Amino acid sequence: MLSIALSELIQIFRNRLVLVTSFIMPTAVSAYFIRQHEAFAELGSLGYIAAVVVFTVSAFGLYATTVTTLASRRQNLFLKRLRSTAAGDAGILAGLLLPATVIALVQATVILAVLGSVTGEPANAALLVAAVLSTVVMMLGLGLATAGLTNSPEHAQVTTLPIILGTIGVASWVGISGTEELALLKRLLPGGSATELVVDAWNGGVPVADSLLLLAPTLGWVVVSLALAARLFRWEPRR
């Protein structure tokens, strides 16, 4: 698995499109929100800014990279060749996705640390960690499911748009309007409960036990995504 991960890390740094998607775009968007944090805090809250940062990194950086990577490796038959080695299916996927996952986690940590240094530390750092990790796992699951519908890296630019725009849109909706109205709908949408959890962790004022319940819808999306991935994912190009 580690040898696959090292090889994939090298490929990431050689691919300009992936570098732009994974590094430049999320960093630029996050830097803009941090620079304009006072205006966005008035629109939503500091927790809203943190949520947008988390979903920008996990959607553009992790989710899009996951789909593009798996589609590319399937197209050039690299996935098929890997299955002829001693590595199991789970080990192959873990090796391919480990670099993008670690990069996304490091990037989110650094950007949130910068946000904290500019605006003040989050009210509950442990809860924020739980929110970030659950979001990353959800986006990985959605990436695996979407990769089953994606025929090529070029096709990934189309198939990833609904989830990218949808999750960031839900994060903005929940972060700005809260969950006083349409709470159930907002929490069941992908990214809704995760956004609320990030906002609660950053802003505070909500009992931890109530906030932890918000993990359930996010983990539910993980289960749904993995079930879809099991049905849709292909190791060889579609004919």
CA distance 101 to 5: 11
Q: Could you read off the pLDDT of 52-72 as tens digits, one per residue?
A: 999 999 998 899 999 999 998
Q: Around 221, how many Cα atoms within 13 Å sit in the side-chain half-sphere?
A: 24
Domain extents for the chain?
2-232
DSSP 118-186: HH---S-HHHHHHHHHHHHHHHHHHHHHHHTT--SHHHHHHHTHHHHHHHHHHHHHHHHH-SSSSHHHH
CB atoms within 10 A of CB 11: 16
What pLDDT does 223 receive? 95
What pLDDT does 24 receive? 77
Phi, psi of 150 (to 5 degrees): -110, 120
What pLDDT does 140 receive? 94
Residue 33 and residue 39 in contact, taking contact as beta carbons nearer than 8 Å? no
Judged against a pLDDT cut of 80, whether residue 113 lies above it is answered with: yes
Q: Could you read off the pLDDT of 173-225 as tens digits, one per residue?
A: 999 998 888 999 999 999 999 999 999 999 988 888 888 899 999 999 999 99
pLDDT band with cut points at 50, 70 and 90 for residue 147:
very high
pLDDT band with cut points at 50, 70 and 90 for residue 238:
low
